[in-house]
Amino acid sequence: MSLPAFGWIAIVCGAVLIGLPDRPRLHWLGVCSAMAVWGTLIATLAAQPRQLAIDAISNDAVFAVAIALVWSLGFSTGIASPATWGRRWLTLGGLTAVASSRDWLLLGLGWELVRRATSSARTAWAEISWWISLPFWLGAAAWLFCTGSWDFREMTVVLQGAYAPADGADAWGRPALVLPAGLCLMIFATLIPCLTPSWRSQAEPEPVVAVTARQLAALFLIERCCRELHWGLEASLTWLLMVAAGIAWLCAVWQTVQPSRLDRLWLGCSYWHLAVALTWLLMDVANHTAAAVSRAPHLAATLIRREMLHAILVLSGATAAVRLVARPGGPVRYLEELRGAGREQPLWAALFLIPLASLMGLPLFWGGWLRWLSLIEQYNAPQPGPNDTLMPHAGVLVVQVLGTLCWIVLAGAVLTVFRTLLWEHPTAERLWRWGWWPSCLAAVAAFLLLAGGLVPSLWLP
């Protein structure tokens, strides 16, 4: 079956959300549908063995669940609400293509549909992305017309076999030179609107959700292309994206942590963040310390590189979380800025949503953070060769500790979003008025439930 079970859930949730234009009902329906999707995911994972659960997390079904959750929250807060019924159904069509896609060409078509549904004006980026994405879905349509098959991975095999040398010594053919150039152009076309002053000074800036959605889709498309074609470009593109994320994080730190905002930085941190931090620290240390202190020497460099990428991306989310709690008015004011003046700052939304989406299991950089956990677990009991020795590596441990500290701040950011979504509910409002101790307990309970669904290796036998 081409469409996974979770893809059907995503489509049903999207259809119900589209059919209810009333804002209050839409708000709570979005939250309830997101919780229902996660409840189904947790129940499915709990009924499966450990290895099957890890495999289920790594596939495209979780991408459909993440899309359903992100878009339901976007619809509920009014950030991603399309203006017309046509755009709403176009968005549903894009989500259907993405959810049913296990192929990178069909994913390009879904990405283009979502891009058209969320864009408010055709900017220079829209023109560039149109010509970049045009070969992807035209190629998919041509392949479907000629062969009648939806398995576009066969098309990549045919292309590689047609352009590879006869002796097979060099696997790099002509498509392997053309498509990466288009992907690099896609990266720069994604970053240019976020950095150029002319784009920021437009009378009608593009909604932040459009830029953020295209950034996520572009990154996932790049990773999927390289993984499906087995080009061996994952390491190079990962390093490139890691450098871009590091530069964006440094710019974010420079704009946020200023002398005039240091007082608000510390005052914005509440006690329940500390409770969540301690809870996550215990869980993370118990799960990863043994994997970090003992490695075969030939695996140390690879693990350090992966943990560096992990730390940089989570640091970007942590910086956005600092901005979230340091703004006057807290998270509510931040969400209002996303709908109003915050549209001029799409980079901030990307810095916050990319780590958050990766935390939810978005197949980004080899499958997201849950893929990282499964990779680290595979190194718990390495099989050394005749010349290998097991020894602790201080560098791996240091990077792992830094990643743990970043996870702490990111956990606080996730709970801040949940607290914002429940802020207007009368029961939640009374709960927050009781004091910070009940708030801490409720936040820790919500986070444990979330972590149990996201990281099944912590609780599955």
What is the residue-level pLDDT of the chain in tens, covering all 461 positions? 333 444 444 444 444 444 444 444 444 444 444 444 444 444 444 444 444 444 444 443 444 444 443 443 333 333 334 344 344 444 444 444 444 444 443 444 444 444 544 444 344 344 334 444 444 444 445 555 555 554 444 444 444 443 344 443 333 333 333 333 333 333 333 333 333 333 334 444 444 334 434 444 444 444 444 444 444 444 444 444 444 444 443 444 444 444 444 334 333 333 333 333 333 333 444 344 434 444 444 444 444 444 444 443 444 444 444 444 445 555 555 445 444 433 444 434 444 444 444 333 333 333 334 444 444 444 443 444 444 443 334 444 444 444 444 444 444 444 444 444 444 445 555 544 544 445 455 545 544 444 443 333 333 33
Q: Could you tell me the sign of the dihedral formed by the alpha carbons of 381, 386, 387, 389, in that order?
A: positive
Identify whether 305 is part of a domain. yes
Output DSSP code: residue 391. B
Find the length of the chain. Answer: 461
Identify whether 127 is part of a domain. no
Identify whether 391 is part of a domain. yes
Identify whether 226 is part of a domain. no
Q: Could you tell me the sign of the dihedral formed by the alpha carbons of 46, 47, 48, 49, in that order?
A: positive
- Interior angle at CA 405, CA 402 and CA 411, nearest 5: 140
Identify whether 306 is part of a domain. yes
Identify whether 55 is part of a domain. no
Residues with Cβ within 8 Å of 292's Cβ and at least 6 positions away in sequence, in order, are 376, 396, 397, 400
Q: What is the pLDDT of residue 430?
A: 52
Residue whose C-alpha is closest to residue 275's, from 411, 401, 418, 455: 411
Q: What is the pLDDT of residues 408-449, one digit of tens each?
A: 444 444 444 444 444 444 555 554 454 444 545 554 554 444
Identify whether 380 is part of a domain. yes
**What interhelical angle do 104-118 and 124-147 show, nearest 10?**
140
Beta bridge partners of 391: 295
Q: Which domain holds residue 276?
A: 233-461
3-state secondary structure 87-124: HHHHHHHHHHHHHCCCCHHHHHHHHHHHHHHHCCCCCH
Q: What is the pLDDT of residue 38?
A: 45
Q: What is the pLDDT of residue 453?
A: 38
Domain count, the chain: 1
Identify whether 219 is part of a domain. no
